[in-house]
Structure 1
Amino acid sequence: MAAAAGGAMANNYAPAVVAMAGGPSNWTVPFGTSHIDGLSFVDTYTFSYSGLPGTAQGFFANLANFSPPSPTMINFSWADINGVPLPIFNGFVSGSVFFGVPVNGLITLTIIGNDIGHASYAGTLDITSAVPEPATYGMLLGGLALVGLVARRRKS
């Protein structure tokens, strides 16, 4: 009975919230972990950045080793960012590559899979948010000044 219960356990990983490095419009963070027990897992990462609306791009991957006596690999079954599913591939290289995932505020990355042997994966998450350039503000102020000048001339 104890052996059957042990097979149902999982090796989940959920580190504390990690602040992304960078700014004001480009943020990045590496992530990853190892699994060594041959069980399924649910890894949940939470990242913080400026919180402005933006897009996420990045990857995570595991490189399989089929050499006896101890083959190692991870089979991924699901991944998402804030509930948006990510494409998954499994084989000699397993993982995900993703682009243009909309994000805002805290980012939660969930990765589900199972390991064979002592296996690990690593990846990078990059966020690009739209921050107006100084020239945009200059054009806005110039346009407002021009509108003010036209309104003043019409009043006279």
Structure 2
Amino acid sequence: MKLTSLLAAGLLAAATGSVSANDYTAPVIAMVGGPTNWTISFGTSHNDGLAFTDTYTFTYSGLPGTATGYFLNVASMAGDLDFSSAKLNGAELGPVNAGPMSGIVTFTQSVSGVISLVIKGTDHGTGSYAGTLDISAPVPEPATYGMMLGGLALLGVVARRRKG
């Protein structure tokens, strides 16, 4: 009885191990640049024939802005990747699997704060992908600076009148 239980437990453990996913969670990545433009490159490889979920977390100043970028896999003799999902801050980006190329050719999305990119797919042999993420925050219009300077001048005049 004990031998049967041990054998069943061993088979169950082996079966569980063989269907696990190949997930990758990158450490939090600080984007470079600023004060209005930031950029970062990312990517990884898979080679076990399993489904994968890759999670990237990016930080920058957190100002509201526009994220643009891409990621791409090109099939080789060693293998290929098929993407099933890609989400930037929870919004689906709609990856494409077209012949020898797969990924997101380009995307544009509004962002602010910490950015999360989750990419899901399956590898067929050895495959890798790479991409970039760029954040552009809007630069204030000259009229905005003019209004700010005018307001400061008005405050100066009011303060001077109160003194005198």
TM-score under structure 2 length normalisation = 0.79
- Bigger Rg, structure 1 or 2: 2
| Cα contact 2:69–2:108 (8 A) shared by 1 | no
Q: Does 1:31 align with 2:42?
A: yes
Residues in 1 aligned to 2:111 and 2:57: alpha-carbon distance in whole angstroms? 12
Which amino acid counterpart does residue 6 of structure 1 have in structure 2? G
| Cα contact 1:21–1:28 (8 A) shared by 2 | yes
Residues in 2 aligned to 1:119 and 1:141: alpha-carbon distance in whole angstroms? 53
* Structure 1 residue ranges, 4+ long, deviating more than 6 angstroms after superposition: none
Which amino acid counterpart does residue 55 of structure 1 have in structure 2? T
Aligned to 2:95: 88
Matches within 5 A, 1:69-148: 71-91=78-98, 92-132=100-140, 135-141=142-148, 143-144=150-151, 145=153
Between the two proteins, the alignment pairs up a number of residues equal to 144
RMSD of the TM alignment (CA)?
2.2
Q: Displacement of 1:136 after TM fit?
A: 4.1
Counterpart selection for 1:20 from 2, 25, 31: 31
Residues in 1 aligned to 2:148 and 2:28: alpha-carbon distance in whole angstroms? 39
Structure 2 unmatched ranges of 5 or more: 1-10, 158-164
| Corresponding residue SS for 1:140 | helix
Q: Displacement of 1:55 after TM fit?
A: 1.0
Residues in 2 aligned to 1:44 and 1:9: alpha-carbon distance in whole angstroms? 16
Residues in 1 aligned to 2:145 and 2:63: alpha-carbon distance in whole angstroms? 22
Residues in 2 aligned to 1:15 and 1:142: alpha-carbon distance in whole angstroms? 44
TM-score under structure 1 length normalisation = 0.83
Q: Displacement of 1:143 after TM fit?
A: 4.4
Q: Displacement of 1:118 after TM fit?
A: 1.1
Residues in 2 aligned to 1:41 and 1:89: alpha-carbon distance in whole angstroms? 16
| Corresponding residue SS for 1:47 | strand
Q: Displacement of 1:142 after TM fit?
A: 5.2
Residues in 1 aligned to 2:136 and 2:75: alpha-carbon distance in whole angstroms? 31
